[in-house]
Amino acid sequence: MSKSLFHNWFRSERKPQPRVVETNYQTGSKTSVTLLALSIGLAAYSYDRTAAVSVTPQYFSDSPGVTLSSYQRFSNAYANSPWMWGYHIEIGTDLASNLHSGNHSIDLDRAWYRSPFAETNLGGEITWGRIHPWEVSLNPESLRPWGLAGSLQGQNRGVSLGPVTNHSNFPSPTLLGWVGVHYWSDPVSSDSFQWGLSMTPITIPTMGSSFEFGNNSSHTRFGRTGGTIQTESGTLPIRFEADNSTARNIIAQPQVMIQSYWDLNRVTLGLENWSWISNAPRPNPLLGAVSRIDTSTGQSVAVVSPLFPRQWTVGNTTQWSPGNYRGYSFFSTLLYQDDPNWGFEVGAKNRFVRFSYLNQFGNRSVPESRYTGSFMQYEGQYPLGQFTPYWGAKHHMALKDAWFRTGVRTSIGRDTSLDVGADIFAGATGSYFSQWQDNDRIYATLTWDLGG
């Protein structure tokens, strides 16, 4: 059985890319120096190296700021026993204050090693280390973090909701890797049916970008604020906080995912299907008890204990890429969670535009429903000589809010590019994107490709 056209295209997209994620650990110069030293050592043994540095001056609604980011990816992806090691460093700051008051982000994004089972009856291969299961199965949902399935996975969102170095129209958070063991039955994609099993002894919840209350910091922060809650002191913003024992209990929970892939080219050219079932804690917290009201920032905040109950998730994605005809591709996703929640997403793309519509039904008390209700997103780009204008929007139809982005991208020499654009957040009070209205901004991102 030959591989489908989309599968070949998707494998090419899965090469190491400049995708920025974060864990919001406040780390110092020693960590950065250690990572850089390890990078120099690994570079000598790497057949494939990807790296870039970018700087983003930006002006928010009331103050200027700047974001610095760098990523490194090392691998020998074409060896018999491939491995990958990659990290990023990201620093955001308000220019009106000192650098250390900004949002720092350092993470070992991916670190894995694959060992083949070719000489055993089981066959296949095992990937050890940190990688998301969908990257093992080449599930396209790993490339759609703003979609229905991707938004319900654990994510790291960086200083500004995703990378500024991967030339995507919108910032694109990366799915958190599972630190464990991942089996896949057919690593060379020769069988029409393939399957896999992923297991990890720990759970890392979704980590949105830092958010601080107060006039001097809120505009520099993107990410999930947690919304509001009704207390005896009135309606207050939420800040999730877990003590050490609670945090250990949250992290020390296993995750399991079984997934399959069907190559349906014999039925229809370019037709593929992925299915999965998983049991894991919720990546986004539910509201626990209010432990106290904190006024230390100058604004009253309800400090709430987060809850991460376990849940079953069943999903199915079908993708149809009809040859190379102008790059057209269509997909549909169905998903069920035992909250209960169920939803669907449909979408299409070609070389110039992407569009999708999703909706989720069921338990409206969970925080994600504020994002994954009736939701439409679209974006486009069109090369005009040396310049590529791009535009797009994400819009909740029921909440009547939106995130608009427009800009233009150009190359400056062989290894340097410049993006200039603007973000606008709009919506009624309490809607999803209205939380970020202080982050309206104009920006310019200068990126240096350090070679591969």
Q: How confident is the model over 329-346, as a mean pLDDT?
A: 94
pLDDT of 26 higher than 70:
no
Answer for the pair 26, 290: CB distance below 8 angstroms, yes or no.
no
Q: One-letter amino acid identity for 231?
A: T
Phi-psi region of 8 (alpha: psi -120 to 50; beta: other; left: phi over 0): alpha
Q: Residue 451: what pLDDT?
A: 62
Average pLDDT (32-51) is 55
Percent of the chain with pLDDT over 70: 73
Instruction: Specify the higher pLDDT residue, 193 or 269.
Output: 193
pLDDT at residue 132 above 80? Answer: yes
* Closest to 278 measured CA to CA, from 364, 180, 395, 185: 180
- Report the number of distinct structural domains present in the chain: 1
Q: What is the mean pLDDT of residues 273-285?
A: 93
Q: Where is pLDDT greater, at 80 or 141?
A: 141
**Closest to 380 (Cα-Cα) out of 147, 170, 172:** 170
Q: How far apart are CA 212 and CA 219, in angstroms?
A: 9
Contact 441, 59 (CB under 8 A): yes
Q: What is the tens place of the pLDDT at every residue in 377-426?
A: 999 999 999 999 999 999 998 888 999 999 999 998 888 889 999 999 89
Rg (CA), the chain: 22
- Tokens found for residue 370: 């504020």
21/328: higher pLDDT: 328
Question: What is the C-alpha separation between 255 and 280, in angstroms, rounded?
Answer: 5
Sheet strand arrangement including 286-294: 228-231, 234-240, 301-307, 286-294
Task: Tell me which residue range forms the domain holding 253.
Answer: 5-449
Average pLDDT over residues 138-154: 92
DSSP string over 224-249: ----EEEETTEEEEEEE---HHHHHH
Among 133, 138, 182, which residue's Cα sits nearest to residue 153? 133
Would you place residue 167 in the very low, low, confident or very high pLDDT band (cuts 50, 70, 90)?
Answer: low
Region 17-21: mean pLDDT is 26
Confidence of residue 219 (pLDDT cuts 50, 70, 90): very low
Summarize pLDDT for 90-110 with one digit per residue, the tens. 777 655 443 334 466 778 889
What average pLDDT is seen over the chain? 77
Tell me: the pLDDT tens digits for 185-209?
988 888 899 999 999 999 988 776 5
| β-sheet bridge partners, residue 236 | 229
Helix, strand, coil content of the chain in percent (nearest 5): 15, 45, 40
Which pLDDT does position 274 carry in this prediction? 98
- Cα-to-chain-centroid distance, residue 189: 26
pLDDT over 80 (residue 347)? yes
Q: What is the pLDDT of residue 220?
A: 31
CA–chain centroid gap for 194, Å, is 25
Taking Cα atoms as reference points, which of 125, 133, 148, 58 lies closest to residue 94? 58
Alpha carbon of 443 to those of 56, 59, 89, 215: distances in Å? 6, 7, 19, 21
Q: Is the pLDDT of residue 369 over 70?
A: no
CATH number of the domain residue 75 falls in: 2.40.160
Looking at residue 90, its pLDDT comes to 78
Maximum average pLDDT range among 8-12, 80-84, 131-135 = 131-135
Assess whether pLDDT exceeds 90 at residue 66: no
**pLDDT > 90 fraction of the chain, expressed in percent and rounded:** 33
